[in-house]
């Protein structure tokens, strides 16, 4: 063997080491996120807001904007969180300390944990945030999204307000005359930045999601396709009609996405997450070759408080989201919940999703994605 051959063998051997390492990491790894990149100016805006929040949370001069869900009806996960992200835009604009507090159906930390800023309502006097607001909702609306320039006095009032508490459900990306704009063409990516800036999932949810994924796809993380089908059964119980042609279209659309990422749906079926209970049970029984699901019955976090619903079943709303968000590609519904799954998702997922009814569009609840 020549020296040259020896050198080549050595070089090849050296190149092999990192590859083996990578494989080992993959085997023991989890479906962890591929960090998303936040487009400017939002990256800078969020960084500056983080410094501001950390420095001032407990300062005597601080002013607060609190997104609350305290015992009154305040909508499902998708609506609540879109409202939270919208009020974060308001807090940034008006230099308020943004906080969030849910007590319904349980404290928020059972679901979401703070990430870049600590938004917990802890370390304040009792009932500090329970006093009446000094602005009406209409005034708040005028200082944020529908102001037309005639409300300077109201803006002054908001700027002087020590606290403002709201059950916000405004769409995150809504055009708001008094706020920094969110580029509609990149609204999903930007929403993902804001979501991931604020939140991580509670570890119990992540562990449960990981264990469902291992059961579906084996111990090593793999690329898979997920399908979110919002059928509204969770809001309005009972079976509603469906178009079989749409169902066939969804399967075709799943195959198209799978082919793009070189996944064979027969060997690695797509995972369906839906509040269409009857259909989900059907899939659970293995009646569809290319679709699987996980054994969860979707629960509305704001509608079952009178029933005997366990913490685990409320957390499962987020386990479903986790399973969607770890997918490599996703079929979405016209739904805030689909959008929320994308906001939780990885960089590759943000570039690989289609509406399940219209496979040629990437719009999610009015929000367009640019390829
Ligand atoms: C996560 O949720 C569990 C309930 O399943 C709760 O006991 C735990 O305290 C939560 N974690 C955090 C960090 O709040
Ligand atoms: C303020 O805006 C919210 C969200 O769009 C809306 O639901 C509410 O009716 C508005 N309130 C008033 C008083 O204008
Ligand atoms: C601006 O809004 C106020 C109510 O908030 C309304 O009375 C006024 O007519 C509006 N002005 C214009 C120019 O649209
Ligand atoms: C799904 O979970 C329920 C308990 O939550 C259990 O009773 C049922 O047997 C499970 N179904 C399957 C197919 O594993
Ligand atoms: C709720 O369920 C638990 C167990 O799942 C049971 O111990 C309890 O009695 C139930 N409460 C009501 C009000 O049904
Ligand atoms: C999507 O396809 C439908 C027909 O299948 C067509 O009518 C529509 O114009 C297409 N939309 C886009 C955005 O290409």
Tell me which residue range forms the domain holding 290. 203-368
Residues 193, 120 within the same domain: yes
Asked whether residue 340 is domain-assigned, the answer is yes
At residue 26, the pLDDT reads 41
> Biggest alpha carbon distance in the chain?
87
Q: Which residues pair with 6 in a beta bridge?
A: none
Three-state DSSP class for residue 235: coil
Does residue 8 lie within any of the structural domains? no
The answer to whether residue 29 sits within a structural domain is no
Please compute the mean of the pLDDT values over residues 233-242 and round it to a whole number: 79
- Work out the burial of residue 222: count CB atoms within 10 Å of its CB; fewer than 13 is exposed, 13-18 middle, 19 or more buried: middle
Do 218 and 348 have their domain in common?
yes
Neighbours of 51 (CB within 10 A): 10
Asked if residue 252 and residue 342 are part of one domain, the reply reads yes
Examine the pLDDT at 96 and tell me if it is beyond 60. Answer: yes
Confidence of residue 28 (pLDDT cuts 50, 70, 90): very low
On the question of a cis peptide bond just before residue 41, with omega within 30 degrees of 0, the verdict is: yes
Which CATH number characterizes residue 357's domain? Answer: 3.40.50
Instruction: Give the tens place of pLDDT for each residue, 67-94.
Output: 999 987 888 899 999 999 999 999 999 9
- Residue 202 region, left (φ>0) first, then alpha (ψ -120 to 50), else beta? beta
Domain identity same for 188 and 271 = no
Rounded to the nearest angstrom, the distance between the alpha carbon of 280 and the centre of ligand 4 is 12
Q: Are residues 218 and 362 in the same domain?
A: yes
240 close to ligand 6 (CB < 6 Angstrom): no
Considering only CA atoms, which residue is closest to atom 12 of ligand 1?
A: 109
Q: Which of 8-17, 29-38, 115-124, 334-343 has the lowest mean pLDDT?
A: 8-17
Distance CA 308, CA 270 (A): 32
61 forms beta bridges with none
Range from 38-42, 99-103, 255-259, 296-300 carrying the lowest mean pLDDT: 296-300
- 40: pLDDT strictly greater than 50: yes
Q: What is the pTM of this model?
A: 0.88
Orientation of helix 311-325 relative to helix 77-94, angle to 10°: 70
Q: Give the pLDDT score at 25.
A: 40
Could you tell me where the DSSP H helices lie in 104-243?
137-144, 152-160, 187-198, 203-217
pLDDT band at 4 (very low <50, low <70, confident <90, very high): low
Are residues 193 and 208 part of one domain? no
Position 268 in a domain: yes
Short-list 298, 351, 347, CA closest to 321: 298
Q: Indicate the number of domains in the chain.
A: 2
From 146, 174, 201, the end of a domain falls on 201
Q: What is the pLDDT averaged over residues 121-133?
A: 95
Please state, in angstroms and rounded to a whole number, the distance separating the CA atoms of residues 90 and 49.
12
* Rg over CA atoms, the chain: 23
Nearest CA owner, ligand 2 atom 2 = 141
Binding site membership of 361 for ligand 6 (Cβ less than 6 Å): yes
From 177, 201, 225, give the residue that closes a domain.
Answer: 201
Pocket test for ligand 3, best of 141, 150, 153 (most atoms within 8 A of CB): 150
The answer to whether residue 168 sits within a structural domain is yes
Residue minimizing CA distance to atom 4 of ligand 2: 170
In a domain, residue 16? The reply is no
Mutation test residue for ligand 6: of 358, 359, 362, 368, the one with most atoms within 8 Å of CB = 358
Q: Sign of the CA dihedral 304, 305, 306, 309?
A: positive
Q: Do 112 and 199 touch, CB atoms closer than 8 A?
A: yes
Q: Are strands 225-229 and 329-332 parallel, antiparallel or unpaired?
A: parallel
Same-domain check for residues 223 and 115: no
Q: Is 6 among the domain residues?
A: no
Single residue among 153, 170, 201 that ends a domain in this structure: 201
Check pocket membership of 202 for ligand 1, CB cut-off 6 A.
Answer: yes
């Amino acid at each position: 063997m020549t020296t040259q051959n020896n050198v080549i063998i050595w070089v090849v051997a050296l190149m092999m080491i990192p590859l083996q390492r990578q494989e080992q990491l993959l085997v023991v790894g989890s479906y962890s996120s591929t960090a998303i990149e936040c487009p400017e100016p939002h990256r800078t805006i969020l960084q500056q807001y983080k410094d501001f929040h950390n420095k001032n949370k407990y300062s005597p001069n601080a002013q607060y904007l609190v997104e609350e869900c305290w015992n009154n009806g305040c909508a499902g996960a998708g609506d609540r969180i879109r409202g939270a992200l919208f009020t974060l835009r308001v807090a940034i604009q008006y230099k308020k300390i943004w906080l969030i507090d849910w007590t319904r159906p349980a404290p928020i930390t059972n679901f979401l944990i703070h990430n870049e800023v600590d938004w917990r309502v802890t370390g304040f006097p009792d009932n500090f945030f329970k006093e009446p607001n000094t602005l009406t909702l209409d005034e708040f609306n005028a200082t944020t999204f529908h102001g037309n320039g005639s409300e300077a006095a109201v803006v002054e009032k908001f700027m002087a307000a020590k606290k403002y508490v709201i059950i916000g459900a405004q769409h995150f990306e809504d055009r708001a005359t008094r706020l920094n704009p969110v580029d509609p063409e990149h609204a999903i990516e930007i929403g993902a930045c804001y979501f991931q800036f604020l939140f991580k999932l509670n570890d119990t949810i992540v562990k449960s999601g990981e264990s469902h994924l291992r059961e579906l796809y084996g111990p090593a993380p793999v690329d898979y396709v997920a399908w979110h089908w919002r059928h509204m059964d969770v809001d309005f119980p009972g079976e509603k009609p469906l178009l079989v042609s749409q169902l066939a279209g969804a399967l075709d659309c799943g195959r198209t996405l799978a082919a793009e990422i070189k996944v064979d749906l027969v060997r690695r079926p797509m995972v369906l997450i839906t509040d269409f209970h009857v259909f989900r049970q059907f899939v659970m029984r293995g009646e569809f070759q290319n679709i699987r699901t996980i054994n969860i019955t979707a629960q509305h976090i704001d509608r079952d408080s009178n029933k005997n619903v366990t913490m685990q079943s409320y957390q499962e709303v987020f386990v479903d989201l986790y399973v969607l968000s770890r997918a490599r590609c996703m079929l979405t519904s016209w739904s805030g919940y689909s959008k929320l799954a994308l906001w939780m998702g990885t960089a590759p997922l943000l570039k690989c999703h289609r509406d399940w009814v219209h496979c040629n569009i990437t719009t999610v609840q009015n929000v367009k994605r640019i390829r």
